[in-house]
Amino acid sequence: MQRTEISKYGEFGLIKHLTEKFKISNESTLYGVGDDAAVLDYKEKQVLVTTDLLLEGVHFDLVYVPLKHLGYKAAVVNFSDIYAMNGQPKQITVSLGVSKRFAVEDLEELYAGIALACETYGVDLVGGDTSASLTGLTISITCIGEAEKEKIVYRNGAKLNDLICVSGDLGSAYMGLQLLEREKIVFSANSEAQPDFEGMDYILKRQLKPEARKDVIQALKEKGIVPTAMMDISDGLSSELIHICTQSNVGCRIYEDKIPINYQAVVMADELNMSIVTAALNGGEDYELVFTVSMADYEKIITVEGVGIVGNITKPEFGLQLIGREGEELEMKAQGWNSLK
Amino acid sequence: MQRTEISKYGEFGLIKHLTEKFKISNESTLYGVGDDAAVLDYKEKQVLVTTDLLLEGVHFDLVYVPLKHLGYKAAVVNFSDIYAMNGQPKQITVSLGVSKRFAVEDLEELYAGIALACETYGVDLVGGDTSASLTGLTISITCIGEAEKEKIVYRNGAKLNDLICVSGDLGSAYMGLQLLEREKIVFSANSEAQPDFEGMDYILKRQLKPEARKDVIQALKEKGIVPTAMMDISDGLSSELIHICTQSNVGCRIYEDKIPINYQAVVMADELNMSIVTAALNGGEDYELVFTVSMADYEKIITVEGVGIVGNITKPEFGLQLIGREGEELEMKAQGWNSLK
């Protein structure tokens, strides 16, 4: 494979080379890459801003994450934060720190993933920064989105008796990660070994190429449902529910048998002798949405495809209860993924 | 000195601890830290977005940069990009990657610097992300600002015969860096040695605690001047003029004896046997403004304090000319600071 040293381009040449194929598709993008700042026009809409810093060895492992997938995922997880406010992502900026290990072709792969994500979700790349790094790859993405003021959904609006809803399924991304880690260990012991991913394409995809739930936000809009509180599930359902309950000053009750789990994730958990419920509650990286809706929206919410009711909001003094399959009560704790521990 | 391990707080606790003292002062900040995204309201104003990634060992050296200064500078250089569009910075997000070497007290210092910058420039901290890093400190800042559509100044508007103006003086930040590097070498040879900074407080301050030229933007507004093109000088005057001339499709003529240079910078350059003009043209990190104004604004611009005329815009075929003290013509080249080389 061709290997072009990054120094051939220099900073400005490199940014230009990597970004010139990106097209601007949003009316709110007045000016993108190429000046001191991007210029956006949000008119009467509110502006949403979210940011994420991804560090090699902490947030991703290039041994098993292809750069194109990494670019796609890095962009999508930011879009997910904007959807979680009931907004629409419109622009991103991408800053990279790259060590000499990386060639221009590597960054082209990374940007190809970002470009695919931008195209899929209708988002414009409007700026960024590329610089040398002494060690590894650093990716910092900021996403800007729009929302109507009255439709923005915060974490703090859950009310007593609201229904707690979850999109898609939980724990699959975590089980995909466990599978990749297992095969990495096998490979490091025997470099002739071929990874054994048979029948596990779904959980691998959930880990390597997650999607943000634009479709769910669209469906809620079409049904006329505005959630009372919402988050995306990046650190695990338990952790997100703690945020919602703390900020809303409520408790919650979740039914274990209602937690949506995919069959492949169950099989993988069995193989590894892990609890799939623990993975679903604490695994993280699913980028599904957890949200609360008023009881009055019950008839509407059950018609939304890919969304299930997993419990309900209770009084704060009940805390966060998990009701097991036998009816036993457990207290939910956040064991969510935490890079600082 | 007390040393509290970062793991004591965990990610969410740490962000809360570091940001809870920040106050919101802008009307456009509807919601700051604490949800999936910040919520801003820019009404009829345009939104400006800029971002910067700073990596330890590449962009800063903690041997001689105090963390509080680093926080201040990291914020201010982003404000500078917004002023360079003729806008006003209003919000920032701060993401940190921190290795185990750093204690909570270190991050408090860094945030104290960010807080001071925010207070000084009237900017709100609205979000961010803190995570572990395997090596050193990574700081990613995104700044959001506002501007009136008709008043935004791009790089591409310079016209034939426009006057080229520069604020403050150039080369001081670079000479400050050279001084710090010299004393670092002295110190590494003899750890008993005390650094010799006497009489060099100005160039040190320019390197360690630069300011963004909010005052110049304000003065231009008061005089009714809208520059035709503008940039902040982060990579050196030559490099910025190349951007302006290329994007505006013009040439320029700069007079060496008009380039504003501080006395301390001259002394330092002499001591180190360096060319102060080269430092002024290519040194970078001055965060002054370079801008072009129509000849019709001549009478007004000469009344703006701290701004000097250094040359004028010519036809593109003349390229970028530097006129020396003896009237000799030289071609200007960008040797600006480039972390990728």
Q: Inter-chain contact A133–B93, Cβ cutoff 8 Å?
A: no
Q: Look-up: residue for tokens 């060690």?
A: A135
Distance CA A76, CA A191 (A): 32
Tokens 């990596």 map to which residue? Answer: B55
pLDDT given for residue A149 in this prediction: 92
Contacts of B120 (CB under 8 A, 6+ apart): none
The full set of domain ranges for chain A reads 6-151, 163-331
Residues of A in contact with B9 (CB under 8 A): 340
Would you call A49 and B93 a contact, using CB atoms and an 8 Å cutoff?
yes
Q: Is the pLDDT of residue A22 over 70?
A: yes
Q: Does the beta-carbon distance from B58 to A131 stay under 8 Å?
A: yes
Q: Would you call A163 helix, strand, or coil by DSSP?
A: strand
What does DSSP assign to residue A101?
T
| Tens-digit pLDDT profile for residues A26-63 | 999 999 998 999 999 999 999 999 999 999 999 999 99
pLDDT band at A335 (very low <50, low <70, confident <90, very high): low
Nearest to A95 among B9, B53, B155 (CB): B53
Of the candidates B6, B47, B134, the beta carbon closest to that of A58 is on B134
Name the DSSP letter for residue B24. P
The per-residue pLDDT of chain A, averaged, comes to 93
Please give the Cα distance from A269 to A278 (Å, whole number): 10
Judge contact between A275 and A269, C-beta under 8 A: yes
- Classified by CATH at the fold level, domain B6-151 comes out as 60s Ribosomal Protein L30; Chain: A; (3.30.1330)
The shortest CB-CB distance from A48 to any of B38, B152, B155 is to B38
Residue in B with minimal Cα distance to A247 = B34
Task: Lowest mean pLDDT of A163-172, B14-23, B197-206, name the range.
Answer: B14-23
pLDDT surpasses 90 at A71: yes
- The answer, yes or no, to whether residue A337 has pLDDT greater than 60, is no
What is d(CA A151, CA A174) in angstroms, rounded to the nearest whole number?
32
Q: Which of B49, B79, B135 to mutate to test the interface with A (most CBs of A within 10 A)?
A: B49
pLDDT for the residue numbered B211: 98
**Closest residue by Cα to residue B329 from B229, B231, B255:** B255
Please check whether the domain covering B163-331 is classified as CATH 1.20.140.10.
no
Q: How far is A270 from chain B (nearest CA, A)?
A: 30
What pLDDT does residue B335 have? 61
Amino acid of residue A215: D
The pLDDT of residue B337 is 47
Residue type, A7: S
Residues of A in Cβ contact (< 8 Å) with B32: none
Position A334 scores a pLDDT of 63
CA angle A51, A55, A59 (to 5 degrees): 90
Tell me how far the alpha carbon of residue A272 is from its chain's centroid.
25
| B37 within 8 A of A91, measured Cβ to Cβ | no
Phi and psi torsions of B282, nearest 5°: -125, 0
**pLDDT digit string, tens, across residues A107-116:** 999 999 999 9
Cβ distance A340 to B132 less than 8 Å, yes or no, reads yes
| Phi, psi angle pair for A323, to nearest 5° | -95, 115
Residue B247 distance to chain A (closest CA, Å): 9
Structure confidence at residue B20 (pLDDT): 86
Full strand arrangement of the beta sheet holding A307-314 = A229-232, A289-293, A163-167, A307-314, A251-255, A320-323, A329-331
**Mean pLDDT, residues A316-331 taken together:** 94
Q: What value does the mean pLDDT take over residues B214-219?
A: 98
Separation of alpha carbons A145 and A151, rounded Å: 13
Using one digit for the tens of pLDDT, what is the confidence trace for B103-131?
999 999 999 999 999 999 999 999 988 88
Query: How does the average pLDDT of chain B come out, rounded?
Result: 93
Is residue A341 predicted with pLDDT exceeding 50? no
A131 or B144: whose pLDDT is higher? Answer: B144
| E strand spans, chain A | 29-31, 38-40, 46-55, 88-98, 124-132, 138-147, 163-167, 229-232, 251-255, 289-293, 307-314, 320-323, 329-331
CA–CA distances in Å: residue A259 to residues A84, A160, A166, B160: 19, 20, 8, 68
Q: Are B341 and A7 in contact (CB < 8 Å)? A: yes
Minimum Cα–Cα distance from A30: chain B residue: B46
Residue range A84-119, pLDDT digits in tens: 999 999 999 999 999 989 999 999 999 999 999 999
Q: Do B37 and A55 touch (CB under 8 A)?
A: no
- pLDDT tens string A160-204: 999 999 999 999 999 999 999 999 988 888 888 888 888 999 999
- Cross-chain CB nearest to B128 (options A51, A91, A243): A51
Give the number of C-alpha atoms closer than 13 A to the C-alpha of residue B199, restricted to the C-beta side: 8
- Residue A167's DSSP bridge partners are A307
Q: Whole-angstrom Cα distance, residue B175 to residue B173?
A: 6
Which position has the higher pLDDT, B6 or A75?
Answer: A75
Average the pLDDT over B290-308 and give the result: 97
Return the percentage of chain A with pLDDT > 70, whole number: 98
Chain B residues with CB-CB distance to A6 below 8 A: 340
User: Would you call B49 and A34 a contact, using CB atoms and an 8 Å cutoff?
Assistant: no
- Kindly report the nearest CA distance between residue B209 and chain A, in angstroms: 21
Nearest neighbour of A10 by CB, restricted to B11, B154, B341: B341
Q: How is chain B split among helix, strand and coil, in percent rounded to 5?
A: 40, 25, 40
Has residue B340 got a pLDDT over 80? Answer: no
Three-state SS annotation for B118-181: HHHHCCEEEEEEEEECCCCCEEEEEEEEEECHHHCCCCCCCCCCCEEEEECCCCHHHHHHHHHH
State the pLDDT confidence band at B334, using cuts at 50, 70 and 90. Answer: low
Contact (CB<8Å) B340/A10: yes
Pick from A51, A57, A154: which is nearest to B127 by CB? Answer: A51
pLDDT greater at residue A259 or residue A131: A259
The pTM of the full predicted model, rounded to 2 decimals, is 0.94
Confidence category of residue B191, pLDDT binned at 50, 70, 90 = confident
Which whole number is the average pLDDT over B34-55?
Answer: 93
